[in-house]
C-alpha cells in the first residue's frame, strides 16, 4: 500500500514522497506552501532529502525506484544520470552518449522532463549545450539554486 510522506526544508518549502514500502513511486520537490501541511520528517528518505538541501552529499544510489513501464532506453538514461556526481553537469547530448545512445539528446531530455524522482535521479545536473536549460514546472531559478547548492554556477 502506498504512503505519502511530507517533509519541510528551511528556505525551500514542503516536499512530498510517495512510497510503496521501500520503493519510491514519486517525489515532489519542496515548494513554499501555506497552512498546515502535516509535515512528517520521520521517514529516513525524507531526512536524507532534507539533508541534501542543507548541503549534504548523497548519491541516493541505494533508493529503489519504481521503473515499471520504462523502456530499456529510459532505464539507461536514468541509470546514467544517477552516476553524474554531485557538483558536476552534463549536456543532454553527453547524457545520451553516456547512456549508449549518441544523437538521442532530445529523447534523453524527454526522460528528464518526465522525471518522477528529482534529486534521486538528478536531472538538475543536465544542462543545455548553450546554457542552463529548462527545469520543468519548477523553473530555471529552482534548477540554478540546486546547482549552486552543489557549487555549480551557470
Catalytic residue among 123, 126, 146, 147: 123
Nearest residue to 138 via CA among 29, 54, 58: 29
123 carries an active-site annotation: yes
Question: In Å, how far from its chain's centre is CA 75?
Answer: 15
Instruction: Kindly provide the residue ranges of all beta strands, DSSP E only, lying in 10-136, ordered along the sequence.
Output: 13-20, 23-31, 64-65, 90-91, 126-127
- Strand-pairing partners, residue 31, are 14
Q: What Cα–Cα distance (Å) separates residue 150 from each residue in 1, 5, 88, 89, 154?
A: 35, 25, 8, 10, 12
Buried residues in 122-137 as b, exposed as e (16+ CB within 10 A): bbbbbbeeeebbebbe
Dig out the grid coordinates for 75 from the structure.
532505464
Instruction: Report the catalytic residues.
Output: 123
Amino acid at each position: 500500500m502506498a504512503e505519502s510522506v511530507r517533509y519541510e526544508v528551511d528556505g525551500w518549502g514542503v516536499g512530498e514522497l510517495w512510497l510503496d514500502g521501500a520503493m519510491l513511486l514519486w517525489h515532489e520537490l519542496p515548494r513554499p506552501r501555506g497552512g498546515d501541511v502535516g509535515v512528517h520528517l520521520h521517514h529516513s528518505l525524507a531526512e536524507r532529502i532534507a539533508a541534501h538541501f542543507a548541503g549534504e552529499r548523497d548519491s541516493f544510489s541505494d533508493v529503489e525506484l519504481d521503473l515499471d513501464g520504462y523502456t530499456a532506453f529510459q532505464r539507461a538514461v536514468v541509470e546514467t544520470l544517477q552516476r553524474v556526481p554531485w557538483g558536476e553537469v552534463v549536456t543532454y547530448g553527453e547524457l545520451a552518449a553516456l547512456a549508449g545512445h549518441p544523437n538521442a539528446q532530445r529523447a534523453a531530455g524527454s526522460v528528464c522532463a518526465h522525471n518522477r524522482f528529482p534529486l534521486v535521479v538528478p536531472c538538475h545536473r543536465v544542462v543545455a549545450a548553450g546554457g542552463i536549460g529548462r527545469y520543468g514546472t519548477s523553473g530555471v531559478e529552482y534548477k540554478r539554486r540546486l546547482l549552486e547548492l552543489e557549487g555549480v554556477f551557470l
